[in-house]
Amino acid sequence: MLDEKVNIDINEFLKTLNFKTNIIYFIKWGIFSVIIGVVVGFAGASFGHAISFATDFWQSHRYTLYLLPIFGLIISALYHFIHADNPRGTNWVIDSISSGETIPLKMAPTIYISSFLTHLGAGSAGREGAALQIGGSLGNFIGRKLKLGQTSFSDKADINIAIMCGMASCFSALFGTPISASIFSMEIFSVGVMYHAALIPCLLSSYIAVYVAKLMNTPVEKFIIQRAPDWNFRLVGFMILLAALTAIVAILFSVAMHESANIYKKVFKNPYIRIVVAAVLFIILTILSGSRDYNGGGFWLIERSMSGNVRYEAFLMKILFTAVAMGGGFKGGEIVPTFVIGATFGGAFAKFFGLPYELCTACGMIACFVGVTNCPIASIFMGLEFCGSLGINYYAIVVGVSFVLSGYYGLYSSQKFAYSKTEARYVGSDAVSIRKKRQNS
């Protein structure tokens, strides 16, 4: 009787493990993740080389700045050709997860070319926003070609995992940060809820993409802290203050990006006129500043911040230059400018208070990143992979403080907030609706 009871219990236990489903999941996503990682990794690596070429070219051929109006007209024509005169950028990818909207494949080459032209003309933009769009578009295409959601062994929601894998792969191919890219792609859609079923697929495809990028000698920028001070309460207090102030900077940047786009669209209805005006304004700003520091992505400003060679107004200038260019229709990413803005603010903070430049620059970057993306877990891992592990205790502090104090702002208007940032309750709304509700209460 005892043996029989034990056998029954074991059988019941094995049923609860549901090995068949788990094995199918591992085999299915083991294959699909490798395919997505290789394809998107190659696309991301080639995109990285293209952006590096464009950056090197404008830095040695300064006249390309004055070609920005022509590049702008080409960009507008490309988007008109794919019937997207008012493109939603990364918001399109985010919407595809919540609404099931299909991301067209033509989005990938369009953002690829448009971002290249923006960088070739020295426009202030990054590359990872474009990477998210390229990766999301390719992930969606590959998923549909593999019949995800259309077969007996595939769920309809599997296409969402394919999109996340594509985003994570392209992001990690450019930055060499597979863990943070994977978590970011899972975390960005709904604050407070993560799609854990996508964890293994995203990680595997990201590591494959990083390997492909390394094989192609894709340039990767990292800013590793070489020295970090011992833990002490005085420095913790300064990091809390830095994070609180950086949260305000993150809000300023988010508002500037949204409002500049709205103003351009309100004043200039025609997208061709709009982008030419943006190009002319950008050229004038560059001439008036007397510097090319705020053109392009601006990674060199992070290097200067870490060595203490930073101007106090640098973060404001980068906000202005980026809002003028991207608000008017130029393409690229917002995250590299976010890093630069946070880094230069952190460097200025260190300069003012006599604190370690490397630590404050890194913490400023991470605090600004979480402030505009609302992805705290990904932000901590971004600090580890992008700046090294020496400052991990401080990364966690600045991420927590900036995440809460930045409120319901962010770069992506389609991002949903499942749970409140300050209360243990479900809110299930977008940022704009939450802010309006708070203003009216």
Q: Is residue 73 part of a domain?
A: yes
What is the residue whose two structure tokens read 């369009």?
110
Are residues 171 and 207 both part of a single domain? yes
- Give the pLDDT band (50/70/90) at residue 420: confident
- pLDDT tens-place string over residues 125-137: 998 778 889 999 9
Q: Is residue 11 part of a domain?
A: no
pLDDT more than 90, % of the chain: 69
* Domain interval for residue 372: 233-410
Mean pLDDT of 16-35: 81
Are residues 84 and 135 both part of a single domain? yes
Nearest to 259 by CA among 316, 315, 322, 312: 322
pLDDT of residue 46: 96
* Domain end residue (candidates: 216, 244, 260): 216
Q: Is residue 2 part of a domain?
A: no
- Greater confidence (342 vs 190) lies with 342
Q: Is residue 305 part of a domain?
A: yes
pLDDT of 226 over the 50 cut: yes
- Give the pLDDT band (50/70/90) at residue 6: very low
pLDDT of residue 338: 96
Of 146-160, 243-257, 287-301, least confident by mean pLDDT is 146-160
Q: Is residue 60 part of a domain?
A: yes
Are residues 265 and 146 both part of a single domain? no
Are residues 367 and 280 both part of a single domain? yes
pLDDT of 152 over the 50 cut: yes
pLDDT of residue 1: 47
Are residues 254 and 398 both part of a single domain? yes
- Give the pLDDT band (50/70/90) at residue 2: very low
pLDDT of residue 83: 81
pLDDT of 428 over the 80 cut: no
Mean pLDDT of 349-359: 96
Q: Is residue 362 part of a domain?
A: yes
pLDDT of 430 over the 80 cut: no
Are residues 209 and 302 both part of a single domain? no
Q: Is residue 393 part of a domain?
A: yes
- pLDDT tens-place string over residues 370-400: 999 999 999 999 999 999 999 999 999 999 9
Are residues 261 and 169 both part of a single domain? no
- Give the pLDDT band (50/70/90) at residue 21: confident
What's the CA dihedral at 180, 155, 131, 325 to 10 degrees? -110
Are residues 212 and 358 both part of a single domain? no
Write down the pTM of the prediction: 0.92
Are residues 250 and 193 both part of a single domain? no
pLDDT of 144 over the 60 cut: yes
Are residues 198 and 112 both part of a single domain? yes
Name the domain count of the chain. 2
Which amino acid type is present at position 264?
Y
> Any idea what the CATH number is for the domain that residue 210 is in?
1.10.3080.10
Q: Is residue 3 part of a domain?
A: no
Are residues 193 and 237 both part of a single domain? no
pLDDT of 422 over the 90 cut: no
* Domain end residue (candidates: 216, 245, 272): 216
Are residues 303 and 172 both part of a single domain? no
